[in-house]
Amino acid sequence: MRLPISGANGVHPIEEIRLQDDILKLAYEVSNASETKIHLIDAVMREAKILAMNARIEAGRAGQAGLGFGILADEMGKISGKITVISADLRSSLQQSTSQLKDVGTGLVINAKGARYTDLALNVIEIIDRNLYERSCDVRWWATDSAVVACVEDGSPEDIKHACERLNTILKSYTVYLDLCIADATGIVVACGRPDVYPQAIGRDVSKTKWFKDSLNTRSGDEYAVAEVRKVSDLGGAQSATYATAIRQGGRSNGRIIGVLGISFDWAPQAGAVVKGVRLSEAERGSTRVLIVDANHRVIAASDDAGVLSDQYALKATEERGFYCEGDRLVAYALTPGYETYRGLGWYGVIEAKL
């Protein structure tokens, strides 16, 4: 996992962001307190000026007897004027300083959150990559199974029955799959692992599907095909990512293609567990959305389950990973880096948070 456990000073990233939030809150509190006190000073000075003016009026009425009192009133007016100027200068200086402090605090918070969410987005897509790497390994391995090969090489009722039993045994151990199916070279499904659950599977024509056609174009048993995540009507409308490869004569890597093995990855619960399992604080969860989008930016998983397989996410990715602000949102993203021999499909992990 790429999730950092501490910041530059040995502080956990969540705690570091909290400290920066506290600095920003303190800046606002200092600004508000300063403005309040300056307003009080201005109010007092206005009263002092009025008193000084009234004192000069009364001194004028008193004539010679009020001359000293008039001089004192003039000095009082001058002092209140000086304090008013000082108050204005103080207000200007404090506004400038607190504004800079707010900007710095906001920048610190955004950069810290952006870096952390980018790392979490990368972690999301890396988990998916590793999971799908295993799917690509599974399909290439099982396509060489003797029961799978015999099902389309000989194609006797006994061979087909044995293949169904073999696929069912695999499904009992690998619970991440909806079904496994074997199609002959013409694209007709002749065996599957769950004929009792999906009775319409056997006999269906998959010759027009991308995964079948791409499998026929593989050059060796080392290659595989994959279809985009979609709802499959023959699997009860479940969301599936289908991985496939050619079944070759004798199970040899360079053997003649005699059929295709397709494995239907149960996408929704697996991807949902990843996007909903991101390590966020309780406060963050209420204002944060975690997504996986495909190469066309179509939403294929979301922590709030909204828009899955229907919405396009307006991701503005300018590099492999990074973050940006848009209005009141912070968007962090990371492009699939691939894993081992799995190159990835151009998918992104995305984390969207309200600022």
Residues spanned by the domain of 294 = 278-354
**Residue written as token pair 């000095």:** 75
CA gap 125, 348 in Å, rounded: 6
Give yes or no: residues 117 and 210 share one domain.
no
Tens-digit pLDDT profile for residues 179-226: 999 999 999 999 999 999 998 899 999 999 999 999 999 999 999 999
**pLDDT number for residue 283:** 84
Give yes or no: residues 254 and 317 share one domain.
no
Look at the chain and report how many structural domains it folds into.
Answer: 3
Question: Does the model's pTM come out above 0.85?
Answer: no
CA gap 209, 219 in Å, rounded: 19
Give yes or no: residues 247 and 171 share one domain.
yes
Residue 4 lies in a domain: no
Radius of gyration for the chain, computed over Cα atoms and rounded to the nearest angstrom: 35
CA gap 298, 3 in Å, rounded: 25
Give yes or no: residues 70 and 181 share one domain.
no
Residue 208 lies in a domain: yes
Cβ contact 317:352 at 8 Å: no
Give yes or no: residues 158 and 119 share one domain.
no
Residue 71, CA atoms < 13 Å, CB-side half-sphere: 4
Give yes or no: residues 90 and 151 share one domain.
no
Give yes or no: residues 327 and 348 share one domain.
yes
Give yes or no: residues 197 and 242 share one domain.
yes
CA gap 205, 186 in Å, rounded: 8
Cα distance from N-terminal residue to C-terminal residue, the chain:
26
Give yes or no: residues 133 and 151 share one domain.
no
Residue 253 lies in a domain: yes
**pLDDT number for residue 177:** 97
Q: Domain boundary residue among 270, 304, 321?
A: 270
Tens-digit pLDDT profile for residues 124-165: 999 999 999 999 999 999 999 999 999 999 889 999 999 999
User: Going by C-beta distance under 8 Å and a sequence separation of 6 or more, which residues neighbour residue 350?
Assistant: 121, 290, 291, 292, 293, 313, 315, 331, 332, 333
Residue 55, CA atoms < 13 Å, CB-side half-sphere: 17
**pLDDT number for residue 152:** 97
Name the band, by pLDDT with cuts 50, 70 and 90, for residue 7. very low
Phi, psi of 11 (to 5 degrees): -95, 135
CATH of the domain at 27: 1.10.287.950
Q: Domain boundary residue among 103, 137, 171?
A: 137
Residue 124 lies in a domain: yes
Residue 351, phi-psi category: left (phi > 0), alpha (psi -120 to 50), beta (remainder)? beta
CA gap 275, 127 in Å, rounded: 10
CATH of the domain at 161: 3.30.450.20
Tens-digit pLDDT profile for residues 56-105: 666 666 666 555 565 665 666 666 666 666 666 666 666 666 666 666 66
Give yes or no: residues 162 and 126 share one domain.
no
Q: Domain boundary residue among 137, 165, 183?
A: 137
Phi, psi of 264 (to 5 degrees): -100, 105
Phi, psi of 319 (to 5 degrees): -155, -175
Residue 2 lies in a domain: no
Give yes or no: residues 284 and 262 share one domain.
no
* Interior/surface letters 159-172, b for 16+ CB within 10 angstroms, e for the rest: bbebbbebbbebbe
